[in-house]
Amino acid sequence: MSMGFLSDEQAAAYARDGDVIVVHTLDRLGRTVRDTLNLIHDLAARGVGIRNLADPIRVDSSSPADPMAQLAVVLLALFAQMERTYSLERAAGARAVAIAKGRRIGRLSVVDADKLTYATHLRDTAHTIAEIVAKSGITRITRTSLYRHLPPRPAEPLTAGRSAERPLRP
């Protein structure tokens, strides 16, 4: 049966006994080793085989009696999981090095520093966020983003003592 241009998940849902799902690589079947192996096991129980095209080890689970196909599936899923793990570790290491060198991580800010300084001044002089957006010309971001970009307000001192304006209650 030809599945056309279905995603791998859709193909697995529509597959019937005797079908073989052909995938580019096994990592297209699931996000983790467990997902991939569970899907291949569930499909094998329904009589559906898996065949890969680009992995270095050819997998053809359409014949469930072949133990080498099962071993190849497990090995490729293991290697894919290891590569994912190492890739995440390399990315985290690169981010840590960049932060240590003082480089900014992530997207560039869309807020001009001068406009942000003016917006901070407006906030400190008791203007509302709507007024700050209108007066500063910061229109490319949402109100939530403006709150995130504004530096935190200085902490107001709290005292436990009696205020001069408020007398004690009897």
Tens-place pLDDT, residues 77-89: 777 778 888 989 9
Q: What is residue 93's predicted lDDT score, i.e. its pLDDT?
A: 94
21 close to 15: Cβ distance less than 8 angstroms:
yes
DSSP state of 20: E
Q: In which residue ranges of the chain is pLDDT below 50?
A: 1-3
**What per-residue confidence (pLDDT) applies to 164?**
55
Per-residue pLDDT tens over the stretch 131-149? 888 888 777 777 777 788 8
Copy the structure tokens of residue 17: 């006994």
Distance CA 83, CA 81 (A): 5
Which pTM value belongs to this model? 0.42
The class that CATH gives domain 8-100 is: alpha beta
Domain extents in the chain:
8-100, 113-149
Give per-residue pLDDT as tens, 62-78: 776 777 777 877 777 77
Q: Is 96 helix (H, G, I), strand (E, B) or coil?
A: helix
